[in-house]
Structure 1
Amino acid sequence: MSGRVTTRIEPPDQSLEVALQTAQAGDEVAFRTIYRDLQPRLLRYLRALVGGDAEDVAADAWLQIARDIRSFSGDYDRFRGWASTVARHRALDHLRRLNRRPETSVQIDELTDLVARDDTERDALERISTDGAVALIGALPRDQAEAVLLRVVVGLDSKEAGRVLGKRAGAVRTAAYRGLHRLADQMGERPAHGPDGE
């Protein structure tokens, strides 16, 4: 492994842009397409916030997303940010109701990715590594954990992650950098660039 930790944001597939527009017009198949793309990411994010209650919180979030999708305005990147904001608000509401801190332990069987089943071994290894990664990220200070999850797991850029968290993009980049730096220290690696690198 190299001594470098990076946060690479993947641009959305054009078909997801089209699916979003079609879902906004009421197409259920298109809505399922965006759900399949975003649900695994939101679940990982929510697991770090609310632990084992992530699926229930995600279900509440998706009810609101489905209800309000027609009024949403923007591209798919903005939609991921908006959906993450909805999920975060549902998670915070849930935590307030329970009046407890979020759990950080995640069971492998709780990670239900909707991925193609062509390589069972690869999928199993991915889930195991995801389980460990989410647990490590969840152990970070909350601001760092959320910044890392939104940037790396959900795939938001720092500006959109800042909208979700109600912070400036620079503050999100710094929190993500510090979180990745702390994770790299735990794993014996060091980030190669400072907080200004995208």
Structure 2
Amino acid sequence: MPRRSATDEAAFAAALARAREGDEAAFATVYRTVNPRLVGYLYGLVGHDADDVAAETWHDVVRGLSGFRGDGPAFRAWAATIARNRALDHLRRIKLRPRTTELEDAAADPPTERDSEGLALENLSTAHALSLIAKLPRDQAEAVLLRVMLGLNAPMAAQVLGKRPGAVRTAAHRGLKRLAEHMRRTGGTEEK
């Protein structure tokens, strides 16, 4: 995922401030900016149920948004904490009441101004990356997802996970090292 520029962060912070005041268009900007990364993070935690858990997360975000105080990175950390809590709740629920059938994913992404080919390639590479991250030990996978997908720094990711920043840095480093080794071994393709 590309890094955010200072201009992007400033525009996001302005949209966030307006969204806290009830501006629906500003909230849409906040949602479109954060949701794809949030769903990617959740996919690493709950798999194909990520969209459902994201919906629960956004419900909680909307309810608490007027009371939120902080900048863009703090908002992403706050949203990630809510998402993680919803994901853990979801995993406990399905453990108690396992599903008997797999539901088809019917959610469509909003249209973008980018070309379809580029979007398809990005989605394939994102799906491939998420499938590789899912094979990491849980602590490494979560650290990589929070640091890379959501762009959180180590202290914010540590806050989400309830760990020390050094532990998050180490887990992310080990996870990325494993991913790099896998990519070198397989030439970047999926092993059968």
Q: Does 1:173 align with 2:161?
A: no
> What value does the CA root-mean-square deviation take over the aligned residues?
2.0
* 5+ residue gaps, structure 2: 97-104, 186-192
**1:119 and 2:115 matched:** yes
Contact 1:9 1:156 (8 Å CA) reproduced: no
Which structure's residues are more often helix, by fraction?
2
Q: Which residue of 2 aligns with 1:10?
A: 4
CA distance in 1, matches of 2:109, 2:155: 27
Query: Compared with structure 1, are the counterparts of its residues 39 and 8 closer, same or farther at alpha carbon in structure 2 (3 Å cutoff)?
Result: closer
Are 1:42 and 1:154, in contact at CA under 8 Å, matched by a contact in 2?
Answer: yes
Share of identical aligned residues, percent?
Answer: 53
Residue 151 (1) aligns with residue 142 (2): no
Number of positions where the alignment pairs a residue of Structure 1 with one of Structure 2: 175
Cα distance in 2 between the residues matched to 1:111 and 1:179: 30
Q: What TM-score comes out, normalization by structure 1 length?
A: 0.83
1:61-100 superposed matches below 5 A: 61-99=57-95
Displacement, 1:118?
A: 2.6
Report the counterpart of residue 42 of structure 1 in structure 2.
Answer: 38
Which is bigger in relative contact order (C-alpha 8 A, separation at least 6)?
Answer: 1
Conservation of the 8 A alpha-carbon contact between 1:57 and 1:91 = yes
Q: TM-score, normalised by structure 2?
A: 0.85
Q: Deviations over 1:134-157 (max 9, x none)?
A: 000011000000000000011111
Where does structure 1 differ by over 6 angstroms across 4 or more consecutive aligned residues?
none
Q: Distance in 2 between matches of 1:179 and 1:52?
A: 22
Structure 2 counterpart of 1:180, which letter?
L
